[in-house]
């Protein structure tokens, strides 16, 4: 691999990792703060992608579809928390798993009814249609750079929100003692509804911005859900910082696994088994630190 294609793969790996982080951060936040296991998280990613496709088609502008889609998914998240999730806080995790698994099925069915089962694509929006030349023969799409920049900006904003604002303090305090937070005059139910909706919107937004670079198709939620859980487990449950590190690691392992050739004892290990790389990474991390890289010791 020459330097030029190495650079392209590195950028791809980082961009994929950042997108994974965006999806997984919502999952880890909702689990870490609210103690809710949300199997339907991948469905929100899919809903985001379909919304971007359908709204961009109807409105005629991807850039206008984004804020509309975010508002819609925040509302959807609030509705689901209020209608369903809020009833399960006092119960065992098993109920959440069952409920959110049911949600996956319901969302798939609804998606089929509303949008059909076809595979769609949306064009890369202007002004990011071009590519930046890296060498004489290699170029990198500007839109992918834009994705990375947006996710990095969101990661910084999320960090500041959680670590530096009073809202973030209240949210963190709620993770350790809900009753006390209420007795200080804070409406914890509303606060948690907001956190859940925020997690939903993060996944959906990831689906929206990735729609122009990957196709929009029925099974896209399930794939993403599994990888997101691997990210959360490697990074440490509840740790946003851990999710960032884990997602980038998976991006690197996955991307370079697919473009590297490796033979061991006459067997072609890479790229044939590249799909297993992230699970091996997870197994390795868990052997080293069972609580994940930035997780709290159990």
Partner 1 sequence: MTSLIEARGIHTYYGASHILHGVDLALAPGETLGLMGRNGMGKSTLLKSILGLVRPRSGTVRVKGADMTRSAPHRIALAGVAYVPEGRGIFPNLSVHENLVMAARAGARGQRDWTLERVLAAFPRLRERIGHGGGQLSGGEQQMLTIGRALLTNPDVLILDEATEGLAPLVSREIWRIVREIKASGIATIIVDKNFRAVTAIADRAMILVKGSVVFEGPSERLRGDPSIRERYLGV
What is the binding site for partner 1 (CB under 8 A)? 166, 169-170, 172-173, 175-177, 179-189
Of 157 and 180, nearer to partner 1 (C-beta) is 180
Whole-angstrom Cα distance, residue 206 to residue 23?
6
Of 75 and 180, nearer to partner 1 (C-beta) is 180
Question: Please, which residues bridge with residue 120 across strands?
Answer: 216
Angle at which helices 220-235 and 93-115 pack, to 10 degrees?
150
CB of 170 to partner 1, least distance (A): 6
CB of 172 to partner 1, least distance (A): 6
Omega cis (within 30) before 127: yes
Whole-angstrom Cα distance, residue 21 to residue 247?
5
Whole-angstrom Cα distance, residue 233 to residue 79?
28
CB of 26 to partner 1, least distance (A): 20
Whole-angstrom Cα distance, residue 278 to residue 249?
9
Torsions phi, psi of 284, nearest 5? -65, -45
Of 189 and 241, nearer to partner 1 (C-beta) is 189
Of 86 and 259, nearer to partner 1 (C-beta) is 86
First-to-last C-alpha distance (Å) of the chain: 42
Torsions phi, psi of 128, nearest 5? -105, 30
CB of 211 to partner 1, least distance (A): 37
- Burial of residue 196 (CB within 10 Å: 0-12, 13-18, 19+) is buried
The first and second tokens of residue 96, run together, are: 């959440």
CB of 171 to partner 1, least distance (A): 10
CB of 23 to partner 1, least distance (A): 25
Of 42 and 174, nearer to partner 1 (C-beta) is 174
Whole-angstrom Cα distance, residue 288 to residue 279?
14
Of 189 and 258, nearer to partner 1 (C-beta) is 189
Of 120 and 172, nearer to partner 1 (C-beta) is 172
Helical (H) or strand (E) element with 267: strand 267-270
């Amino acid at each position: 691999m020459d330097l030029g294609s190495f650079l392209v793969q590195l950028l791809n790996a980082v961009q994929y990792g950042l997108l994974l982080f965006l999806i997984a951060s919502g999952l880890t936040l909702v689990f870490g703060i609210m103690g809710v296991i949300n199997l339907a998280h991948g469905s929100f990613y899919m809903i985001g992608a379909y919304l971007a496709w359908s709204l961009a088609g109807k409105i005629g502008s991807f850039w206008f579809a984004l804020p509309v889609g975010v508002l819609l998914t925040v509302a959807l998240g609030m509705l689901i928390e209020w209608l369903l999730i809020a009833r399960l806080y006092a119960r065992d995790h098993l109920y959440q798993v069952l409920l959110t698994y049911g949600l996956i099925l319901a969302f798939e069915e609804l998606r089929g009814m509303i949008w059909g089962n076809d595979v769609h694509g949306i064009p890369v929006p202007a002004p990011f249609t071009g590519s930046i030349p890296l060498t004489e023969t290699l170029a990198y799409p500007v839109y992918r750079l834009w994705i990375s920049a947006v996710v990095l900006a969101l990661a910084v904003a999320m960090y500041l929100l959680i670590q530096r604002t009073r809202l973030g303090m209240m949210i963190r305090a709620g993770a350790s003692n809900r009753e006390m937070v209420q007795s200080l005059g804070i409406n914890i139910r509303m606060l948690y509804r907001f956190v859940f909706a925020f997690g939903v919107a993060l996944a959906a937004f990831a689906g929206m911005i990735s729609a122009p670079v990957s196709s929009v198709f029925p099974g896209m939620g399930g794939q993403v859900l599994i990888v997101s859980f691997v990210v959360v487990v490697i990074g440490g449950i509840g740790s946003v910082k851990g999710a960032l590190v884990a997602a980038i690691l998976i991006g690197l392992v996955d991307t370079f696994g697919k473009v590297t050739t490796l033979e061991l004892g006459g067997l072609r290990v890479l790229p044939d088994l590249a799909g297993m790389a992230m699970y091996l990474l997870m197994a390795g991390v868990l052997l080293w630190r069972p609580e994940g890289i930035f997780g709290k010791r159990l």
